[in-house]
Structure 1
Amino acid sequence: MTSETSMDRQAVYDDYERARRTFHRLLDTASKDDLARPTRGTKWTNEQLLWHMLFGYMVVRALLILVRVFGRLPRSTSKVFARVLNAATVPFDLVNHAGPCGAVKVYGPRRTAAAFDRVTGSLERRLAGESEDDLTRGMHYPVRWDPFFQDYMTLADIYRYPTQHFDFHRRQLTLGSGNTVG
Protein backbone atom coordinates (compact mmCIF):
# COMPACT_ATOMS: atom_id res chain seq x y z
CA MET A 1 0.00 0.00 0.00
CA THR A 2 2.85 2.39 0.77
CA SER A 3 3.70 4.75 -2.06
CA GLU A 4 6.85 6.78 -2.50
CA THR A 5 5.22 9.13 -5.01
CA SER A 6 2.96 12.10 -4.38
CA MET A 7 -0.49 11.23 -3.12
CA ASP A 8 -3.49 11.86 -5.37
CA ARG A 9 -5.63 13.74 -2.86
CA GLN A 10 -8.48 14.21 -5.33
CA ALA A 11 -8.78 10.43 -5.71
CA VAL A 12 -9.16 10.12 -1.92
CA TYR A 13 -11.77 12.92 -1.84
CA ASP A 14 -13.63 11.20 -4.69
CA ASP A 15 -13.54 7.87 -2.85
CA TYR A 16 -14.89 9.49 0.32
CA GLU A 17 -17.71 11.11 -1.67
CA ARG A 18 -18.56 7.83 -3.41
CA ALA A 19 -18.63 6.04 -0.05
CA ARG A 20 -20.77 8.81 1.46
CA ARG A 21 -23.34 8.58 -1.37
CA THR A 22 -23.37 4.79 -1.16
CA PHE A 23 -23.73 4.84 2.63
CA HIS A 24 -26.71 7.19 2.45
CA ARG A 25 -28.33 5.14 -0.31
CA LEU A 26 -27.90 1.96 1.71
CA LEU A 27 -29.47 3.51 4.81
CA ASP A 28 -32.20 5.38 2.93
CA THR A 29 -33.43 2.30 1.06
CA ALA A 30 -33.15 -0.22 3.92
CA SER A 31 -36.26 -1.26 5.79
CA LYS A 32 -36.21 -2.22 9.48
CA ASP A 33 -36.27 -5.86 8.39
CA ASP A 34 -33.35 -5.25 6.03
CA LEU A 35 -31.31 -3.67 8.83
CA ALA A 36 -32.07 -6.57 11.17
CA ARG A 37 -31.08 -9.24 8.62
CA PRO A 38 -27.80 -11.13 9.17
CA THR A 39 -24.88 -10.25 6.90
CA ARG A 40 -22.77 -12.52 4.77
CA GLY A 41 -19.64 -13.80 6.53
CA THR A 42 -19.98 -11.82 9.80
CA LYS A 43 -21.87 -12.23 13.07
CA TRP A 44 -23.46 -8.77 12.66
CA THR A 45 -26.76 -7.59 11.31
CA ASN A 46 -26.75 -5.21 8.36
CA GLU A 47 -27.28 -2.25 10.70
CA GLN A 48 -24.34 -3.31 12.88
CA LEU A 49 -22.10 -3.82 9.86
CA LEU A 50 -23.06 -0.40 8.48
CA TRP A 51 -22.01 1.12 11.80
CA HIS A 52 -18.74 -0.83 11.65
CA MET A 53 -18.18 0.61 8.17
CA LEU A 54 -18.61 4.09 9.66
CA PHE A 55 -16.23 3.14 12.46
CA GLY A 56 -13.54 2.40 9.86
CA TYR A 57 -13.53 6.13 9.08
CA MET A 58 -13.80 7.12 12.75
CA VAL A 59 -10.74 5.10 13.75
CA VAL A 60 -8.61 6.91 11.19
CA ARG A 61 -8.66 10.00 13.39
CA ALA A 62 -6.85 8.07 16.12
CA LEU A 63 -4.51 6.46 13.59
CA LEU A 64 -3.51 9.90 12.30
CA ILE A 65 -2.35 10.83 15.80
CA LEU A 66 -0.40 7.59 16.16
CA VAL A 67 1.38 8.14 12.84
CA ARG A 68 2.31 11.68 13.86
CA VAL A 69 3.87 10.39 17.09
CA PHE A 70 5.48 7.16 15.90
CA GLY A 71 6.48 8.66 12.54
CA ARG A 72 8.98 10.88 14.40
CA LEU A 73 10.46 8.05 16.46
CA PRO A 74 12.81 5.27 15.38
CA ARG A 75 10.94 2.64 13.31
CA SER A 76 11.79 0.00 15.88
CA THR A 77 9.52 1.78 18.37
CA SER A 78 6.40 1.33 16.26
CA LYS A 79 7.47 -2.21 15.40
CA VAL A 80 7.43 -3.10 19.12
CA PHE A 81 4.09 -1.28 19.53
CA ALA A 82 2.60 -3.26 16.60
CA ARG A 83 3.83 -6.55 18.11
CA VAL A 84 2.17 -5.71 21.43
CA LEU A 85 -1.09 -4.90 19.65
CA ASN A 86 -0.88 -8.09 17.58
CA ALA A 87 -0.52 -10.03 20.85
CA ALA A 88 -3.77 -8.41 22.02
CA THR A 89 -5.76 -9.49 18.96
CA VAL A 90 -8.23 -11.69 20.86
CA PRO A 91 -9.44 -8.93 23.21
CA PHE A 92 -9.44 -6.49 20.27
CA ASP A 93 -11.66 -8.85 18.27
CA LEU A 94 -14.12 -9.10 21.17
CA VAL A 95 -14.36 -5.32 21.53
CA ASN A 96 -14.48 -4.87 17.74
CA HIS A 97 -17.45 -7.23 17.57
CA ALA A 98 -19.32 -5.84 20.60
CA GLY A 99 -18.90 -2.16 19.64
CA PRO A 100 -21.37 -2.11 16.72
CA CYS A 101 -23.85 -4.23 18.69
CA GLY A 102 -24.14 -1.48 21.30
CA ALA A 103 -23.56 1.48 19.01
CA VAL A 104 -26.64 0.84 16.86
CA LYS A 105 -28.80 1.08 19.97
CA VAL A 106 -27.44 4.58 20.63
CA TYR A 107 -26.97 5.91 17.09
CA GLY A 108 -29.73 4.54 14.92
CA PRO A 109 -29.71 4.94 11.12
CA ARG A 110 -30.28 8.71 11.01
CA ARG A 111 -27.49 9.58 13.46
CA THR A 112 -25.20 7.03 11.80
CA ALA A 113 -25.66 8.78 8.43
CA ALA A 114 -24.98 12.20 9.97
CA ALA A 115 -21.88 10.87 11.73
CA PHE A 116 -20.59 9.46 8.43
CA ASP A 117 -20.88 12.91 6.85
CA ARG A 118 -19.11 14.60 9.78
CA VAL A 119 -16.27 12.10 9.91
CA THR A 120 -15.54 12.03 6.18
CA GLY A 121 -15.76 15.83 6.04
CA SER A 122 -13.30 16.08 8.91
CA LEU A 123 -10.88 13.69 7.20
CA GLU A 124 -11.11 15.67 3.95
CA ARG A 125 -10.26 18.90 5.78
CA ARG A 126 -7.34 17.27 7.57
CA LEU A 127 -6.00 15.79 4.33
CA ALA A 128 -6.17 19.20 2.65
CA GLY A 129 -3.85 20.58 5.34
CA GLU A 130 -1.24 17.81 5.21
CA SER A 131 2.20 18.54 3.81
CA GLU A 132 3.83 16.13 1.37
CA ASP A 133 6.46 15.37 4.05
CA ASP A 134 3.77 14.49 6.59
CA LEU A 135 2.07 12.15 4.13
CA THR A 136 5.29 10.12 3.82
CA ARG A 137 5.64 9.59 7.60
CA GLY A 138 4.65 6.14 8.70
CA MET A 139 4.73 3.41 11.29
CA HIS A 140 4.30 -0.32 11.75
CA TYR A 141 0.77 -1.67 12.29
CA PRO A 142 -0.80 -4.75 13.90
CA VAL A 143 -1.47 -6.76 10.74
CA ARG A 144 -3.62 -9.28 12.62
CA TRP A 145 -6.19 -6.58 13.43
CA ASP A 146 -7.37 -5.81 9.92
CA PRO A 147 -6.78 -7.34 6.48
CA PHE A 148 -5.96 -3.88 5.10
CA PHE A 149 -3.27 -3.09 7.66
CA GLN A 150 0.17 -3.57 6.17
CA ASP A 151 3.30 -4.05 8.24
CA TYR A 152 4.31 -0.46 7.52
CA MET A 153 1.90 2.26 6.41
CA THR A 154 2.32 5.96 5.73
CA LEU A 155 -0.09 8.73 6.60
CA ALA A 156 -1.16 8.69 2.94
CA ASP A 157 -1.98 4.98 3.29
CA ILE A 158 -4.07 5.69 6.37
CA TYR A 159 -6.18 8.24 4.49
CA ARG A 160 -6.88 5.57 1.84
CA TYR A 161 -7.57 2.79 4.35
CA PRO A 162 -11.18 3.50 5.42
CA THR A 163 -12.62 3.32 1.91
CA GLN A 164 -10.88 -0.02 1.29
CA HIS A 165 -12.44 -1.24 4.56
CA PHE A 166 -15.82 0.20 3.50
CA ASP A 167 -15.77 -1.45 0.07
CA PHE A 168 -14.81 -4.82 1.53
CA HIS A 169 -17.66 -4.83 4.04
CA ARG A 170 -20.20 -3.44 1.59
CA ARG A 171 -20.02 -6.77 -0.22
CA GLN A 172 -21.09 -8.53 2.99
CA LEU A 173 -24.36 -6.62 3.33
CA THR A 174 -27.62 -8.44 2.56
CA LEU A 175 -29.93 -5.48 2.06
CA GLY A 176 -32.96 -5.38 -0.22
CA SER A 177 -34.07 -8.76 -1.45
CA GLY A 178 -31.12 -10.41 0.24
CA ASN A 179 -28.63 -9.30 -2.38
CA THR A 180 -25.69 -7.03 -1.80
CA VAL A 181 -26.55 -3.45 -2.70
CA GLY A 182 -23.95 -1.32 -4.38
Structure 2
Amino acid sequence: MAYTYPMDRQAVHEDYERARQAFHRLLDTASKADLARATEVTRWTNEQLLWHMLFGYMIVLRLLVLVRVFGRLPRSVGKVFARLLDVATVPFDLINYAGPVGAVKFYGPRRMAARFDRVTACLERRLAAESEAELQRGMHYPVRWDPFFEDFMTLADIYRYPNEHFDFHHAQLTLDGES
Protein backbone atom coordinates (compact mmCIF):
# COMPACT_ATOMS: atom_id res chain seq x y z
CA MET A 1 0.00 0.00 0.00
CA ALA A 2 1.45 3.31 -0.99
CA TYR A 3 0.34 6.08 1.33
CA THR A 4 0.39 9.54 -0.20
CA TYR A 5 0.21 12.72 1.85
CA PRO A 6 -2.34 14.09 2.44
CA MET A 7 -4.64 11.08 2.37
CA ASP A 8 -7.50 11.22 -0.11
CA ARG A 9 -10.25 10.61 2.41
CA GLN A 10 -12.96 11.12 -0.20
CA ALA A 11 -11.58 8.23 -2.28
CA VAL A 12 -11.67 5.94 0.76
CA HIS A 13 -15.21 7.08 1.56
CA GLU A 14 -16.27 6.37 -2.03
CA ASP A 15 -14.67 2.92 -1.84
CA TYR A 16 -16.57 2.14 1.38
CA GLU A 17 -19.80 3.22 -0.32
CA ARG A 18 -19.04 1.16 -3.45
CA ALA A 19 -18.39 -1.92 -1.31
CA ARG A 20 -21.49 -1.27 0.81
CA GLN A 21 -23.71 -1.09 -2.27
CA ALA A 22 -22.11 -4.22 -3.74
CA PHE A 23 -22.54 -6.10 -0.45
CA HIS A 24 -26.24 -5.19 -0.31
CA ARG A 25 -26.72 -6.16 -3.97
CA LEU A 26 -25.05 -9.52 -3.36
CA LEU A 27 -27.22 -10.28 -0.33
CA ASP A 28 -30.43 -8.93 -1.89
CA THR A 29 -30.12 -11.02 -5.05
CA ALA A 30 -28.79 -14.28 -3.59
CA SER A 31 -31.15 -17.18 -2.99
CA LYS A 32 -30.65 -19.64 -0.14
CA ALA A 33 -29.17 -22.06 -2.69
CA ASP A 34 -26.79 -19.34 -3.93
CA LEU A 35 -25.62 -18.62 -0.39
CA ALA A 36 -25.08 -22.33 0.32
CA ARG A 37 -23.00 -22.89 -2.85
CA ALA A 38 -19.23 -23.37 -2.55
CA THR A 39 -16.94 -20.48 -3.48
CA GLU A 40 -13.94 -20.46 -5.79
CA VAL A 41 -10.62 -21.40 -4.15
CA THR A 42 -11.86 -21.22 -0.52
CA ARG A 43 -13.48 -23.89 1.66
CA TRP A 44 -16.35 -21.51 2.50
CA THR A 45 -19.84 -21.21 1.12
CA ASN A 46 -20.86 -17.91 -0.44
CA GLU A 47 -22.64 -16.92 2.78
CA GLN A 48 -19.58 -17.70 4.89
CA LEU A 49 -17.32 -15.76 2.54
CA LEU A 50 -19.69 -12.79 2.60
CA TRP A 51 -19.47 -12.81 6.39
CA HIS A 52 -15.66 -12.98 6.15
CA MET A 53 -15.75 -9.97 3.82
CA LEU A 54 -17.83 -8.09 6.42
CA PHE A 55 -15.40 -9.19 9.13
CA GLY A 56 -12.58 -7.52 7.18
CA TYR A 57 -14.24 -4.19 7.96
CA MET A 58 -15.04 -5.15 11.55
CA ILE A 59 -11.43 -6.11 12.31
CA VAL A 60 -10.21 -2.69 11.17
CA LEU A 61 -11.89 -1.15 14.21
CA ARG A 62 -9.59 -3.30 16.39
CA LEU A 63 -6.54 -2.65 14.23
CA LEU A 64 -7.03 1.09 14.70
CA VAL A 65 -6.57 0.57 18.44
CA LEU A 66 -3.44 -1.53 17.91
CA VAL A 67 -1.89 1.11 15.65
CA ARG A 68 -2.54 3.78 18.28
CA VAL A 69 -0.78 1.69 20.92
CA PHE A 70 2.10 0.20 18.93
CA GLY A 71 2.56 3.37 16.91
CA ARG A 72 3.69 5.11 20.09
CA LEU A 73 6.12 2.37 21.12
CA PRO A 74 9.58 1.77 19.69
CA ARG A 75 9.27 0.03 16.31
CA SER A 76 11.30 -2.90 17.63
CA VAL A 77 8.48 -3.73 20.09
CA GLY A 78 5.92 -3.82 17.29
CA LYS A 79 8.24 -5.86 15.10
CA VAL A 80 8.64 -8.52 17.83
CA PHE A 81 4.85 -8.56 18.36
CA ALA A 82 4.24 -9.02 14.61
CA ARG A 83 6.79 -11.84 14.41
CA LEU A 84 5.16 -13.61 17.37
CA LEU A 85 1.82 -13.38 15.60
CA ASP A 86 3.43 -14.78 12.44
CA VAL A 87 4.52 -17.81 14.46
CA ALA A 88 0.86 -18.32 15.38
CA THR A 89 -0.28 -18.43 11.75
CA VAL A 90 -1.56 -22.03 11.86
CA PRO A 91 -3.96 -21.46 14.81
CA PHE A 92 -4.95 -18.10 13.29
CA ASP A 93 -5.82 -19.81 9.99
CA LEU A 94 -8.00 -22.35 11.81
CA ILE A 95 -9.84 -19.61 13.71
CA ASN A 96 -10.10 -17.50 10.56
CA TYR A 97 -11.77 -20.43 8.78
CA ALA A 98 -14.05 -21.49 11.64
CA GLY A 99 -15.25 -17.98 12.47
CA PRO A 100 -17.42 -17.52 9.38
CA VAL A 101 -18.64 -21.11 9.56
CA GLY A 102 -20.11 -20.41 13.00
CA ALA A 103 -21.00 -16.76 12.47
CA VAL A 104 -23.49 -17.39 9.67
CA LYS A 105 -25.56 -19.44 12.10
CA PHE A 106 -26.02 -16.24 14.12
CA TYR A 107 -25.83 -13.59 11.39
CA GLY A 108 -28.29 -14.02 8.55
CA PRO A 109 -28.12 -11.93 5.39
CA ARG A 110 -30.28 -9.15 6.85
CA ARG A 111 -28.13 -8.83 9.97
CA MET A 112 -24.95 -8.92 7.87
CA ALA A 113 -26.25 -6.07 5.70
CA ALA A 114 -27.16 -3.95 8.72
CA ARG A 115 -23.80 -4.65 10.37
CA PHE A 116 -21.96 -3.71 7.17
CA ASP A 117 -23.78 -0.37 7.15
CA ARG A 118 -22.94 0.32 10.80
CA VAL A 119 -19.27 -0.63 10.57
CA THR A 120 -18.57 1.35 7.40
CA ALA A 121 -20.39 4.39 8.85
CA CYS A 122 -18.22 4.10 11.97
CA LEU A 123 -15.03 3.84 9.91
CA GLU A 124 -16.07 6.88 7.88
CA ARG A 125 -16.69 8.94 11.05
CA ARG A 126 -13.36 7.91 12.54
CA LEU A 127 -11.47 8.62 9.33
CA ALA A 128 -13.03 12.08 9.10
CA ALA A 129 -11.81 12.84 12.63
CA GLU A 130 -8.20 11.66 12.12
CA SER A 131 -5.39 14.18 11.91
CA GLU A 132 -2.80 13.82 9.16
CA ALA A 133 -0.21 13.16 11.87
CA GLU A 134 -2.25 10.22 13.21
CA LEU A 135 -2.74 8.82 9.71
CA GLN A 136 1.05 8.65 9.36
CA ARG A 137 1.42 6.61 12.57
CA GLY A 138 2.00 2.92 11.91
CA MET A 139 3.14 -0.46 13.13
CA HIS A 140 4.49 -3.80 11.94
CA TYR A 141 2.03 -6.54 10.96
CA PRO A 142 2.11 -10.35 10.72
CA VAL A 143 2.59 -10.63 6.96
CA ARG A 144 1.70 -14.33 6.90
CA TRP A 145 -1.83 -13.63 8.17
CA ASP A 146 -3.20 -11.78 5.17
CA PRO A 147 -1.99 -11.13 1.62
CA PHE A 148 -2.72 -7.42 2.10
CA PHE A 149 -0.70 -7.01 5.29
CA GLU A 150 2.67 -5.47 4.69
CA ASP A 151 5.54 -5.50 7.14
CA PHE A 152 4.79 -1.92 8.17
CA MET A 153 1.45 -0.20 7.65
CA THR A 154 0.23 3.25 8.59
CA LEU A 155 -3.18 4.12 9.96
CA ALA A 156 -4.03 5.42 6.47
CA ASP A 157 -3.14 1.98 5.05
CA ILE A 158 -5.41 0.32 7.58
CA TYR A 159 -8.36 2.48 6.55
CA ARG A 160 -7.78 1.33 2.95
CA TYR A 161 -7.26 -2.35 3.82
CA PRO A 162 -10.87 -3.58 4.08
CA ASN A 163 -11.72 -2.44 0.56
CA GLU A 164 -8.79 -4.40 -0.90
CA HIS A 165 -9.80 -7.43 1.18
CA PHE A 166 -13.41 -7.06 -0.01
CA ASP A 167 -12.46 -6.84 -3.69
CA PHE A 168 -10.13 -9.85 -3.45
CA HIS A 169 -12.82 -12.07 -1.93
CA HIS A 170 -15.61 -10.69 -4.09
CA ALA A 171 -13.90 -12.36 -7.04
CA GLN A 172 -14.13 -15.73 -5.22
CA LEU A 173 -17.91 -15.67 -4.85
CA THR A 174 -19.95 -17.98 -7.05
CA LEU A 175 -23.21 -16.10 -6.89
CA ASP A 176 -25.07 -15.88 -10.20
CA GLY A 177 -23.24 -13.44 -12.42
CA GLU A 178 -20.63 -12.65 -9.77
CA SER A 179 -17.76 -15.13 -10.16
Unaligned runs of 5+ in 1: none
TM-score where L is the length of structure 1: 0.97
What RMSD over aligned residues (CA atoms) do the two structures have, in Å?
A: 0.8
- Cα deviations by residue, 1:127-165 (Å, 9 ceiling, x for unpaired): 000000000000000000000000000000000000000
1:39 and 2:30 correspond? no
Query: 1:106-125 residue pairs with structure 2 within 5 A?
Result: 106-125=106-125
Three-state SS of the structure 2 residue aligned to 1:114 is helix
Please say if 1:147 is aligned against 2:160.
no
Matches within 5 A, 1:31-70: 31-70=31-70
TM norm structure 2:
0.98
Which residue of the partner structure matches residue 178 of structure 2?
180
1:76-87 pair list within 5 angstroms: 76-87=76-87
* Unpaired segments ≥5 residues, structure 2: none
Aligned pair count reads 179
The percentage of aligned residue pairs carrying the same residue is 75
Alpha-carbon shift at residue 5 of structure 1 (Å):
1.7
Deviations 1:92-131 (A, max 9, x none): 0000000000000001000000000000000000000000
1:2, distance to aligned residue in structure 2 (A): 4.0
Q: 3-state SS of the aligned residue for 2:139? A: strand
Give SS of 1:139's match: strand
1:34 alignment partner, SS class: helix
User: Secondary structure, in 3 states, of the residue corresponding to 1:11?
Assistant: helix
1:89 counterpart letter in structure 2: T
Trace 1:125-144 onto structure 2 (pairs within 5 A). 125-144=125-144
How many Å apart are 1:180 and its aligned residue?
2.2
Cα distance in 1 for residues equivalent to 2:130 and 2:153 = 16
Runs (4 or more) in structure 1 with deviation over 4 Å come to none
Does residue 164 (structure 1) correspond to residue 178 (structure 2)? The answer is no
Q: Deviations over 1:28-82 (max 9, x none)?
A: 0000000000000000000000000000000000000000000011111100000
Q: How far apart, in 2, do the equivalents of 1:6 and 1:85 lie?
A: 31
What is aligned with 2:89?
89
